[in-house]
Copies of this chain bind each other. A is one copy, B any other.
Amino acid sequence: MELSGSESDGRFTVAFLGPLGTYTHEAAYKRFADHAQYLERKTIADVFSSLSPSVPLGVVPQENSTFGSVIETCNALRGSHPGFVRGEVLLKIDHCLLVRKGVKLDEIRKVMSHEQALGQCQEFLATHLPLATLEKSTSTAAAARALLDNPPECAAICSQICATLFQGLEVLHQGIQGETMNFTRFYVVAHSRETVMPFRHPLDRKALVRISAPKWPSKPSSTPRSIVQLLDSLRLDVTFIDRRPSVSLKPFHDVYFVGVCNFVDEPGRSSEDLWGSWTSEVDEAAERVRRTGGEIDVLGVW
């Protein structure tokens, strides 16, 4: 077993899609809190390429309930140096109105944020700050940081974590977005399948596999197993099926990312025990798909 990286202060390193204060940072903090030190990366691809024995873990966005899958994460997972998914974090996207400590709502003259966040909070802004100037920034975190260099009558719309990141700021209002059902799911990716997860966390018994759809036969007599037959032979509960064009040169030769899970309760078993039996169960499912004539890779078990 490979040891997880640890710095002199005993904390392991978690790379995440930065900058500091993004929702990915908040998701990473939700999962690892102060047990980890956080390494900001500029792109999702950078998070994956950072993974190493000294940076054993990373956190990347996987899917938003409104906007769908994050293509860069899918692409990285089918790339040549993918990480291995070892967990997920579900985060309700809750925009906050941040100000310098002590600033009151009626003092605010300017609100800064990423275009999308300004749009998502337009109802709140129209009702409570109809006269404020709106200023677009490169990210919600950049808006929070800019509060420190601006006159006090400014506010930023951003994630709650920014209030703990930048000294002297505080949350004036929370949950100011119009759409209340906005969730994002993040993956915890590890340097390898063998990476030791740094502290105990309940097992979800989920997994992510990639199945290559069989090339369509030119004649019925040569029919290979269809994608539905391959999904069937998994004999696991399928939570989602995501198609992506293959990276190969064949047009319309597809690859499917398939989420699977096991919801059956097995009370009284230890989490090591469950991890062992669940990983075997996933590997056996993959073996069944291969015997059925399919190509499959296990990209994550958690």
Contact = CB atoms under 8 A, between A and B. Distances in A.
Contacts of A226: 237-238
Interface SS of chain A: mixed
Contacts of A66: 245
Given A237-B226, A242-B243, A263 B65 contact: no
A251 B220 contact: no
B220 A228 contact: no
A232 interface: yes
A249 interface: yes
Given A226-B237, A243-B241, A220 B183 contact: no
A227 interface: yes
Determine how many copies of this chain the complex contains: 2
Contacts of A183: 251-252
Given A65-B245, A231-B228, A245-B68, A240 B217 contact: no
A262 B273 CA distance: 46
A262 to B, nearest CB: 10
Contacts of A228: 228, 231-232, 234, 238
Interface in A44-81: 63, 65-69
Interface string A244-258: 110001111010100
Interface of A: 63, 65-69, 181-183, 185, 213, 216-217, 220, 226-228, 231-232, 234, 237-245, 249-252, 254, 256, 263-265
